[in-house]
Structure 1
């Protein structure tokens, strides 16, 4: 059972960069559900999307798998397909270790392979589904175009890329309003002003967000035939990009 997130509840002499370490692993489910509006809906919808887009005898990738919530959802959605395997990737060994434990509690004939590496180093091949669930925002900006291009090249025709991200709005008034709504969401979930402030300071150097226009231009440049938003809550957006048949 997840512990409550109290990592930033006390004033710190200095706030270091956010890291997905053992402390975050212990509180991650509580942290993400109290911090990311729409997260539960994204996870709950992944099985439906996986059932729609999974192809027999193909690979399904969860890039930036954290504790395996999306991996489990994808495995559920692929149950009607044949010959699938899921490849779950994260560059945090503590996350990988805990994800393996989580998956042991759910029986399935669909094999899951965990790889501890940067997603930029992951080979994508014979893929029908690739998920980047709040992962791209932590990839260096200069590596993002190449990563999306690699995913496109490794997807089979008709395959889908599912990307969930925090995004920036090009209109400053709208952007600032959405940021405040997000902070209100955190306050309503019990986070104090100190926690909100210190978490923001910790993450601003490691999470660099893009605008929706940047995401869609990247999908188009890579060659995707279709792309769009399938869920948005404040400044958190779930997108899909489909490779042409």
Structure 2
């Protein structure tokens, strides 16, 4: 079922900000988040479709599917169309404004499956139990590096045998010689989606100390270190990637 919620235009960084501050998922951001992410993440719709079909192939009867950093619920809505209705969904986010928008979207999308939305800061830990699928879609990059291993260990421990983690991340290049070019191509993408130079610059400054990307190889190494037996890249566009990891 299509979403009925009107998508407000992202103008968070349109006006000049006198004093830059770290990016926060505030009520203002929650209101325009769907427009923001669609205009800021290349192939976002296709990534969501890929996440949903991967989740559908690995969701197990009698288990839970978790979306950590669920924001406004787009990923859960996508998975709902492909995963049997008796499997329970759990969405966790530290922004109550995001969760309110998420709950509204789930209801308008006609959700009939059991689901729970939890306000919690996963940087401090996550209660993952009896999971066959856990999704971190553009979420791990916002977790401070010193907490990432602990969070991923919690996920591994909460996954059933053959359960999977589906990870979508912004990354940096393996060889720094390409990093400047990839960033340039990304900003060109944002320009094509009608972001101004001021918006691009001000958002970059706001994210500088908040979004800390790893290399693809560093993410895969970390996943293997915490106990995932197999990892594979399912999406790659310059400095964005998708990874699926399985616990045997």
Q: What TM-score, normalized by structure 1, do the two folds share?
A: 0.95
2:126 touches 2:154 (CA, 8 Å); kept in 1?
no
**Any stretches of 5+ residues in structure 1 without a counterpart?**
none
2:39 touches 2:190 (CA, 8 Å); kept in 1?
yes
1:37 touches 1:234 (CA, 8 Å); kept in 2?
no
CA–CA distance in 1 between the matches of 2:184 and 2:60? 41
Question: Within 5 A, what are the aligned runs for 1:1-245?
Answer: 1-79=6-84, 83-119=86-122, 120-244=124-248
CA–CA distance in 2 between the matches of 1:35 and 1:106? 24
Displacement of 1:219 in angstroms is 1.0
CA–CA distance in 1 between the matches of 2:51 and 2:233? 14
CA shift digits 1:124-169 (9 cap, x unpaired):
1111000000000111110101111111111111111000010011
CA–CA distance in 1 between the matches of 2:8 and 2:214? 31
Displacement of 1:117 in angstroms is 0.3
Displacement of 1:38 in angstroms is 2.1
Instruction: Number of aligned residue pairs: give it.
Output: 242
2:51 touches 2:166 (CA, 8 Å); kept in 1?
no
Question: Could you list the runs of 4 or more consecutive aligned residues of structure 1 that deviate by over 3 angstroms after TM superposition?
Answer: none
**Any stretches of 5+ residues in structure 2 without a counterpart?**
1-5
The alignment's C-alpha RMSD in Å is 1.2
2:93 touches 2:120 (CA, 8 Å); kept in 1?
yes
CA–CA distance in 2 between the matches of 1:150 and 1:77? 26
Secondary structure at the residue paired with 1:149? Answer: helix
CA–CA distance in 2 between the matches of 1:73 and 1:159? 19
CA–CA distance in 2 between the matches of 1:214 and 1:161? 16
1:63 touches 1:130 (CA, 8 Å); kept in 2?
yes
CA shift digits 1:161-220 (9 cap, x unpaired):
000010011311211111111000001110111110000001111111111111111111
Secondary structure at the residue paired with 2:81? Answer: helix
